[in-house]
Amino acid sequence: LGARFLSLEKCIEITKIFINTPVSDEKRHIKRVNKIMKVEERN
């Protein structure tokens, strides 16, 4: 999020919406989430 373009309040609002949005069950999204999980397991 661009601090030069968005207020702190707007950044918080966008972040809350992102966190509360359900994960898509589309195949391409599941593949991406699985890739992220594999990277997290290594670290």
- pLDDT band for 23, please (50, 70, 90 cuts): confident
Q: Is 5 helix (H, G, I), strand (E, B) or coil?
A: coil
Q: What is the pTM of this model?
A: 0.59
Per residue in 1-20, pLDDT (tens digit) is 888 999 999 999 999 999 99
Q: How far apart are CA 40 and CA 36, in angstroms?
A: 6
DSSP per-residue codes, 11-40: HHHHHHHHHHSPPP--HHHHHHHHHHHHHH
**Whether 3 contacts 15, CB under 8 Å:** no
Q: How far apart are CA 41 and CA 36, in angstroms?
A: 9
Domains of the chain, by residue range, sit at 8-42
**Whether 6 contacts 15, CB under 8 Å:** no
